[in-house]
Structure 1
């Protein structure tokens, strides 16, 4: 637990400080022992085996990687040294940054803007519900109000790394429900990392040194970071790009343009932007994961201005068309030389997006090395031996259920609940259809009443002759030219439901509970942020051990750890099982109305 705390708060360890003060000029090189090599190889091998097996079954390979970390690390059989675990934690956190950055790259800004209110509502529910339910710890364990608030703060965040990994494994990262989930998880994570500073200052306040500025600062810096990034992109970068484009000196074919369109140049710019924003956010006092997400979103926004493949194909020089007569005469004279092309064909300049560069250079290392180490490092931080003691087990299970329900409530924002506006709209459509039917019936009644009885009989006599003629000639009959009133009313209802889905209330969102369940379950995993907040609360004295306990750790801390572990394991597992069932139900269904996810599953 202390390892995560030291890593995330950028505090140098004691070994690093003593090493910097030593007189050694260099690190002596020692050949690693074969036992250490075999242990590390077996760790990496088992991490991928567990990931592959559980991904194939229930789309949650990360759960297996966490369990492997528990077994190989300090909580288990202690095969890894403390130095190796510390190195894997640092590499894993680098993988977490790249995971969040990849999530920003796959973000569609128009989709985020369209669903920002819903995402904010989901995030607010996911923050408030765990904090409120955490006050039940007071009658359960006798915890103070400060400990209850710190426990709720640890459980209010959502694991970004887990969320992005689950979405990518399930194929939902670019869907509408994925956009809402990603935005809500990011907001929860920002609030959770702000809570780290809040809890640290609350712990200092209990010792008499409380500063409100250090609590408000992370919140204001996070808001300012997002606002400034938007303002710079919208009012500085976009006009500057237009000016450069009109100038022409950076277009393909020029020396500057050829350098800027190189794949290596874009790789350097992408890396500089990511490292610069993460570094700036850390020194400014906000979340470096939040900065990584914004960096990815900025690059996604920049790529939206890139020419499409169709535009690139249209920009190619067209081959001059040869008239048919000239072509025939040239083919007839065998001795005539073939006409040389006036201009050689030009190959269009390839366009490299930020996503393609990330996939080529970063994704292999992220998938094979960094992501497995990240989830294994979560397993390193679980104090398994001290969690199975006395009443801690049942209290931890009860609190885990409460924290799972607190995040499941977030799915209510995707439920299609009956509203007053929708009810009046439905009534309006039904009234219109009824009035139209009554008008048709009334018109036929008036027309029939005007005819004398003699004309009725003559018309009835001639009707058989007309029907016979129509049958012989194949021309449409007057009766078939217009549908009957009943059919017209039915067609009106069908058009309202399927023909114009934006106008009909039934075509907006599905009645299925699958989108709400997937969203709520995907918000359940806590992961690294929850461990970080609880570790800070324990180290600063917010979680205080009881006088009757023999463990150096607080009972509240162990109960919170139970909730974090079970939520991080059960959440992805449940999402994987649910997505597996949804894919089975939607197999071969191209119609959105028949898909269990409806519009929420649209790519």
Structure 2
């Protein structure tokens, strides 16, 4: 029997899926994309529709998907989350990141501390212990990376200063959140060793410090040495192999896999490692020089010239084509034979065609956008116990706690508020002009002639200044050449967009609350161990509502900003103040 069972388990028999399974899975995948496209077009938050489809098709709703299919969707969806975070690293601007590191840290600290502090209201709402309050606040201190990067990509703000501050702050929040997972997983046992808390923090810091040092002291010198060899041997097989798209794809993929695997075994967030992998590729593309392959370009140009000269010769009748005349079909065919794309290869085109962003869009974007990302947000819907959440006491407490957790993250937007002193100066100047004593020449010894002479001097001085500006006064030229300071936004849209994006929780929040529930941290003494605890359901309400409010609010803000930009461009021909101001600088 044992031998027969072993033989039977050596392979899985192939069975054709029945029509019901085909229809359910087809409708699931199609609706995930249709709802996403419709909501993205309206309010830039199609991910909410994907979460709702996950609730309806999964275990919380109709249970049309079997458990095995849900597990597969969760696993593929997490691959999509890793790629989303990796894409966020690819869009990182290192100039903006270094310039806004302190600001991002302040936003992250605020986004961690405020939810934990306001969670102590649960002691009054649910008669919770301090340990349960801390676990609830830890679940709500994280920010959904998948939601953040999806909203930034759909709104086109990923590479702006606002996007850099938001993505780096959300990354810091999630690193702390994953440290909380390790802490809370040991709370049920009643003992927490110092290694449990310190190890994830130290490993995260090691990745954040060791990887940049490795790039600076190892990757950069090796790249420069390799560049010199490639420039000296542009036609070699090694040079051709290194600039091939498939080689770049393999290098980027291996780097991502290596960092994600190493971070997991080291005890820190694999999402943090995915972000670092994308940032490394972006750094290599933008901060290091790359060969232009001038020799290869010259060779191809000569080849095109030779083919053109041959085409100008008479084939048999002795007619010579005008070299300045329009190209013939034979000329175009010869040129396309040299370069099938119809464009001459240059160093810039070669570099852009193998950049990290181009490789990602060419190979990863379509499966991520159509399959993996929808699966990730649908898997969030699988985790929402919707049937047990509609109890009167649970609902109103969940709404109260969700409001508190929304306010806790909205505070983060205050770091981006920039108060301009120009209106105050104008107001003071206006009041002073009304209180100022008028000019009385007969009292102060001034005469009309004096005034006139001063006016004439002023006028002549203005002419002199005009002439000096026409001639080319060096001081005037220096002033004109100085770049103006980035404009201040004329609205509170940037702080509001940052705050609403930080409101969105998601995968890490559900993970922390689920770990706390499974370890018995949320359980009350004498409660039924098979039923969800009230604290867990209230925390789930807060996570769900924040996950809905955050992306929806950001989508409405983005829609408003785009409408203001279009109105500015149409009415003022693009000369008005920028809606996002300094926060929209790329």
TM norm structure 1: 0.77
Does residue 254 of structure 1 match 2:256?
Answer: no
CA distance in structure 1 between the aligned counterparts of 2:259 and 2:154, rounded to whole angstroms: 28
Q: Is the 8 A contact 1:415 1:511 kept in 2?
A: no
1:596 maps to: 579
Question: Residues 583 and 50 (structure 1 numbering): CA distance in 2 closer, same or farther, change over 3 Å?
Answer: same
2:396 to 372, 394, 397: 394
Match of 1:365 in 2: 367
> Cα–Cα, structure 1 residues 566 and 546, in superposed 2: closer, same or farther, change >3 Å?
farther
**1:247-286 equivalent positions in 2, closer than 5 A:** 247-248=229-230, 251-286=233-268
For residues 541 and 117 of structure 1, the distance between their equivalents in structure 2, rounded to whole angstroms, comes to 38
Local SS of the residue matching 1:579: helix
Which residue of structure 1 lines up, in the alignment, with residue 159 of structure 2?
174
- Rounded to whole Å, the distance in 2 between the matches of 1:140 and 1:120 is 32
Matched, 1:106 2:85: no
Distance 1:364 1:372 in 2: 12
1:79 and 1:317 map into 2 onto residues whose CA distance is 62
Matched, 1:218 2:200: yes
- Structure 1 residues 503 and 373, CA gap change in structure 2 (3 angstroms): closer
Aligned CA-pair RMSD: 3.8
Conservation of the 8 A alpha-carbon contact between 1:386 and 1:551: no
8 A Cα contact 1:546 1:554, kept in partner: no
SS of 1:264's equivalent? helix
Instruction: State the Cα distance separating 1:595 from its structure 2 match.
Output: 2.0
Would the aligned equivalents of 1:69 and 1:380 in 2 still touch at CA under 8 Å? Answer: yes
Per the TM alignment, residue 482 of structure 1 is displaced from its structure 2 partner at its CA by 2.9
Deviation at 1:244, TM superposition (A): 2.5
Secondary structure (helix, strand or coil) at the match of 1:201 reads: coil
- Preserved contact between residue 175 and residue 272 of structure 2 (Cα < 8 Å): yes
Aligned-residue offset at 1:212 = 1.8
Give matches, 1:132-531, under 5 Å. Answer: 132-204=117-189, 206=190, 209-248=191-230, 251-305=233-287, 316-317=297-298, 347-348=345-346, 350-351=350-351, 352-417=354-419, 480-483=459-462, 509-531=488-510
- Render the CA deviation track for 1:389-434: whole Å, top value 9, x for unaligned: 130000000000000111110000000147xxx79x979xx9xxx9
Q: Is the 8 A contact 1:92 1:377 kept in 2?
A: yes
Q: Counterparts of 1:66 and 1:22 in 2: how far apart (Å)?
A: 42
Matched, 1:81 2:83: no
After superposition, give the CA deviation of every residue in 1:471-527 in whole Å (9 maximum; x if it has no partner).
xxxxxx97643349xx9xxxxxxx9xx9899887xx663352111000000111111
Taking structure 2 as the reference length, the TM-score comes to 0.79
Unpaired segments ≥5 residues, structure 1:
1-19, 321-333, 435-441, 464-476, 488-494
Alignment of 1:557-572 (within 5 A): 557-572=536-551
Change (3 A) 1:122 1:250: farther
Q: Deviations over 1:328-350 (max 9, x none)?
A: xxxxxx999999xxxx9995463
- Runs of at least 5 residues in structure 2 that lack an aligned partner in the other structure: 303-317, 324-337, 434-440, 467-475
Question: Does residue 534 of structure 1 match 2:494?
Answer: no
Inter-CA distance 516–25: structure 2 relative to 1 (3 Å threshold): same
The structure number with the bigger radius of gyration is 1
Q: Give the number of aligned pairs.
A: 512
Indicate whether 1:579 and 2:553 are aligned. Answer: no
Picking from 78, 82, 85, the partner of 1:97 is 82
Conserved? CA contact 1:250–1:260, under 8 Å: no
